[in-house]
Amino acid sequence: MKDLVRSVLFLLVCMTPLASLAEGLEDPRQSPHIGVRERANYVDPQAYYWEGFELKNEGDCTAAVERLRPLAMNGRGYEAAQHALGLCLMSLGGLPAEKGASFNGSNLTGSENFIRGRTWVLRAANAGDFQAQRTLLALYAVNLGPDDNPVELGKWLQLYAVNPIRLTLGVLEENDGLRQFLKESISKRDLLIGREQARNWTPTFWAPPGVVQ
């Protein structure tokens, strides 16, 4: 995920000056009409956006939450921030970031931070964010999903498998056996019903209170 975030960040940084030129605006980093001091003090407006992700990747979830929450609250278009916020909140709630680390499921489900974090992950997954969908599958695998409905699990398995953004980016599947394990954990009937629900699925975008989509 860190490599993907860096790739997207690189594209955004490269595209920002191009977008300015396309709109007839000067790139403040290169404009001869802006003084040397102004250019030296120029701050990329995208920088604040990525601070939360960088803090999260550095393991400072307490600080990351403060940066990510305002972004996530913007709603549609900020699913990556919603997912990152969810991961950090679940981590603060006691969910270990390391694979294979032990944890107490009862303590997690009683943690307000964990519940809030899982809610944000679900919001991002419902909007079509493939990374959030995979996180949701990982939660189901350890009996921490938002429900215990095997048909819902079957639906999410299919939605992740055919996620158009994931397939377009060519994201390689992690070789951890997660999807196969989950497929074998439910009946073929539930898996088929879940796939059918996925065919009729449309993304839904969470909106902050008072905002009409």
Q: Is there a contact between 3 and 171 (Cβ–Cβ < 8 Å)?
A: no
Those residues whose C-beta lies under 8 Å from the C-beta of residue 151, and which sit 6 or more positions away, are 190, 193, 194, 197
Q: What is the pTM of this model?
A: 0.77
User: How would you classify residue 210: left for phi > 0, otherwise alpha for psi between -120 and 50, otherwise beta?
Assistant: left
Cβ–Cβ under 8 Å, residues 120 and 82? yes
- The angle, 0 to 180 degrees and rounded to 10, between the axes of the packed helices 130-141 and 79-92 is 30
Is the per-residue pLDDT at 131 higher than 70?
yes
Q: What pLDDT, in 10s, does the model give residues 76-106?
A: 999 999 999 999 999 999 998 777 677 878 8
Task: Tell me the pLDDT tens digit for each residue of 142-201.
Answer: 999 999 999 999 999 999 999 999 999 998 888 789 999 999 999 999 999 999 999 999
- pLDDT of 82 reads 98
